[in-house]
Structure 1
């Protein structure tokens, strides 16, 4: 993919790497071939030339193979989506990143791992609900019988405020950090964010819905974060998952070894 989006940057990165070290260049044509090449790396240090998706794919594969602790990964960001690599400290220019591969140092970074073995490198976010469901008053094209039932229900039950069609609606979630409830189902929230820290703990922020004066964010730190409640979706790095009713994330301290520029 990187060759198709920015072939010149890929060529520059290969030239810089080849000039400074013995390299074996692999050009996988798809995810399956990418996985096979990574599994056959032997004692060689893998260098991923690609965007954030390629980085996440490599980390996820190594984690599922339980080989992440023994592997030091290097990255040369190339492509359109590079914000994750940049947030981890990787230079986003091809030349600077390739030089960091050659001259940089290994740093161990914390990861979040969920109870389905999913990995989060950067940020986890749970946004508000995307909109009200059909039965909350949104028109339902092509279902006249359902619209009739909805009209009957509305005549029997007093209406309640709902979000505008397609607009975000508050979520009702229970958020627990190390077993202690930070927010419960009776307090609607606008969003939840969780990020790996740098000391074996995650940083958790919950934004309650404002009523009148602006509500202050609820902050906490801990090794495990459990979110439960109504079906919710979450965005881990650049991937949207769900809906789920419950998910627990645990900090794996120092799980990812990444080559980064040495601090001067």
Structure 2
């Protein structure tokens, strides 16, 4: 049996817990079609060790988007993500496998397992940031709600008093309706050194995704005729502390982050004839 048919199947513990039947089906299909070593890590550390000790076996992850991102991030930081194709059998609810679906991975256990065995390695772009993180599908920086809670210097007694006053207000009169205005924040957004938005202009939302050899950048402003769109290789966002959503993971707060497009930086096994990737 050739090296590509030697599989390391890492089954995420969340997948085992929420949908054991789909995990069993995927495992049976993979084991019937290839020599598969099955790993059942109990947490992130064991997950990392399993990937690091895979040898010449092709890595296959059974799990949701977070499991895929964990594997891709580990291989990226080890500078091994470009060395071989990563394969995924998605297991999870609709929202938890959005990234997998957007990348073209079948979401059914049998179809995804068959794609692992018979599919082709497709070279894909990604966004790498200056903290050694990766974005496989898309990045979003929405304007979040204002920070809640008491000031850092307030004592416990002040906090309790504030809570009591709030409770009394709630009991004696109805709560005011939630604000319906659009939230904005102030960000400086640069694409290949070109300024798209500066700190004096309110921004509702910033989105970046890798698309056909370029980063597609969209800035939704709080005012003006419409969103600003451009293509770039390097995107830098700076401003007051902001959080961002990289695929399904929320990171931050940070005051500055740069994302660089890496064309064809990784491979994912997708449905299609094996000869198409060779």
TM-score (norm 1): 0.84
Contact 1:132 1:166 in 2 (8 A): no
1:226/1:11 CA distance change after superposition, 3 Å: same
Distance 1:69 1:129 in 2: 35
Corresponding position of 1:154: none
Corresponding position of 1:174: 188
- 2:254 counterpart of 1:240: no
Distance 2:249 2:202 in 1: 24
1:114 pairs with one of 113, 129, 133: 129
Distance 2:16 2:245 in 1: 27
> 5+ residue gaps in structure 2?
1-13, 151-155, 163-177
Corresponding position of 1:102: 117
Corresponding position of 2:144: 129
Contact 2:202 2:223 in 1 (8 A): no
1:20 pairs with one of 33, 48, 57: 33
Counterpart secondary structure, 2:86: strand
Corresponding position of 1:204: 217
- 2:205 counterpart of 1:191: yes
Residue 46 of structure 1 deviates from its aligned partner by 0.7
Per-residue Cα deviation, 1:49-97 (whole angstroms, up to 9, x for no partner): 0011100000000000001110210000012311111111100000000
Residue 22 of structure 1 deviates from its aligned partner by 1.3
> 5+ residue gaps in structure 1?
136-140, 148-163
Distance 1:94 1:101 in 2: 11
Task: Give the alignment's Cα RMSD to 1 decimal.
Answer: 2.4
Contact 1:130 1:168 in 2 (8 A): no
Single out whichever of 16-25 and 219-228 deviates more from structure 2.
16-25
TM-score (norm 2): 0.80
Residue 142 of structure 1 deviates from its aligned partner by 6.0
Corresponding position of 1:251: 261
Distance 1:49 1:233 in 2: 29
- 2:58 counterpart of 1:45: yes
Counterpart secondary structure, 1:25: strand
- 2:102 counterpart of 1:87: yes
Distance 2:48 2:148 in 1: 39
Corresponding position of 2:91: 78
Contact 1:132 1:165 in 2 (8 A): no
Corresponding position of 1:228: 238
The list of structure 1 runs, each at least 4 consecutive aligned residues, that deviate by more than 3 angstroms after superposition, is 132-135, 141-144, 164-168
1:175/1:101 CA distance change after superposition, 3 Å: same
Contact 2:187 2:197 in 1 (8 A): yes
Distance 2:48 2:108 in 1: 25
Distance 1:258 1:142 in 2: 55
Distance 1:71 1:48 in 2: 14
Structure with more of its chain in strand, by fraction: 2
Single out whichever of 78-87 and 218-227 deviates more from structure 2.
78-87
Distance 2:67 2:148 in 1: 35
